[in-house]
């Protein structure tokens, strides 16, 4: 009886696992299809000068509208693409499409594109980036790549060499989600960043938390003394915008200025 019971328990546990695994496999199959069928869309969110209110750039944010499940967050499908070994193809698609799109914008408007740490590890990131720029005929100075600290945790000299190489072409390098990882100060000194993006978790809590305000003030000061642009993500409220501007933060991004939107909708928003 003990044996049968054990087997039974075992079976139900396994079938539980099967359901989760099957679910994931289905999503993987669907994602592969979405990539092939160009079901992935890019939305663009404005980066705004906090002093003048002028739009200085747009960040490309990938969107997946699943035919049955509806919108799936990039926080779900980007890690999926990374696990499936598809992130290089996804990254190439975003770079090529967004660079082409950016040529429709006025010349002073920059394009920011997020890059996965795995694109540093496996792919030929430099040739993908330069290839996308030259195919679109977009000047390198108009592109900013957003990376997270995870890139810098890679062992060996590769990430540093790649970043320096990209900078040598004139491409900007932003440190995204600053404050959420280890935020080692040595990263800021040893890599040629052009911008720090303060993570939205600090900005969203700014009104209620002294500690968030302290972090924000410190990062703005640090960026200034290193000669970097400081951008605050997650600005939803005019009083938060005013506070950040008065603290000396130069650039902002958030629902207050505009939600991520399809390229065709941008002029209507601006």
Positions touching ligand C2E (CB under 6 A) are 45, 60-62, 73-75, 78, 94, 114-116, 146, 176-177, 200, 233-236, 253-255, 260
CB 177 → Mg ion: shortest distance, Å? Answer: 4
Instruction: Tell me the residue number closest to Mg ion, measured at CB.
Output: 146
Annotate 172-210 with b (16+ C-beta within 10 A) or e (fewer): bbbbbbbbebebeeebbeebebebbbbbbebbbbbeeee
Determine, following the binding rule CB under 5 A, whether residue 177 of this chain makes contact with Mg ion.
yes
The secondary structure of residue 68, as a DSSP letter, is: T
CB 17 → Mg ion: shortest distance, Å? Answer: 30
Backbone angles phi, psi at 65, to 5 degrees: -100, 105
Taking CB under 5 A as the criterion, the residue among 45, 97, 101, 114 binding Mg ion is 114
Nearer to Mg ion, 31 or 114 (CB): 114
Nearer to ligand C2E, 61 or 196 (CB): 61
Cα diameter, the chain: 77
Nearer to Mg ion, 114 or 116 (CB): 114
Nearer to Mg ion, 92 or 200 (CB): 200
Residue 166 to residue 133: CA distance in whole angstroms: 12
What's the token pair of residue 244?
């950040």
Neighbours of 229 (CB within 10 A): 19
Q: Which does 101 bind (CB under 5 to 8 A by kind): ligand C2E, Mg ion, none?
A: none
The footprint of Mg ion (CB under 5 A) covers: 114, 146, 176-177, 233
């Amino acid at each position: 009886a003990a044996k049968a019971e054990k087997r039974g328990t075992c079976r139900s546990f396994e079938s539980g696992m099967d359901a989760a695994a099957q679910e994931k496999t289905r999503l993987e199959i669907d994602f592969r299809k979405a990539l092939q069928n160009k079901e992935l869309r890019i939305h663009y969110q404005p980066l705004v000068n906090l002093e003048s209110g002028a739009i200085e750039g747009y960040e490309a944010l990938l969107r997946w509208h699943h035919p049955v499940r509806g919108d799936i967050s990039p926080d779900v499908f980007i890690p999926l693409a990374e696990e499936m070994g598809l992130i290089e193809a996804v990254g190439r698609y975003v770079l090529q499409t967004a660079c082409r799109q950016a040529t429709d914008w006025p010349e002073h408007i920059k394009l920011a594109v997020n890059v996965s740490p795995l694109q540093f590890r496996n792919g030929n990131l430099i040739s993908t980036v330069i290839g996308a720029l030259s195919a679109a005929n977009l000047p390198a100075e108009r592109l900013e790549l957003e990376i997270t600290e995870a890139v810098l945790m890679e062992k060996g000299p590769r990430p540093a060499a790649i970043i320096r190489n990209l900078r040598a072409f004139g491409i900007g390098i932003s440190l995204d989600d600053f404050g959420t990882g280890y935020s080692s100060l040595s990263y800021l000194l040893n890599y040629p960043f052009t911008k720090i993006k303060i993570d939205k978790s600090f900005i969203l809590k700014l009104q209620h938390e002294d500690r968030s305000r302290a972090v924000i003030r410190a990062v703005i000061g640090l960026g200034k003394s290193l000669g970097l642009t400081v951008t605050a993500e997650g600005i939803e409220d005019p009083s938060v915008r005013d506070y950040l501007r008065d603290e000396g933060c130069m650039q902002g991004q958030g629902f207050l200025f505009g939600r991520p939107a399809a390229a065709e909708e941008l002029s209507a928003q601006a």
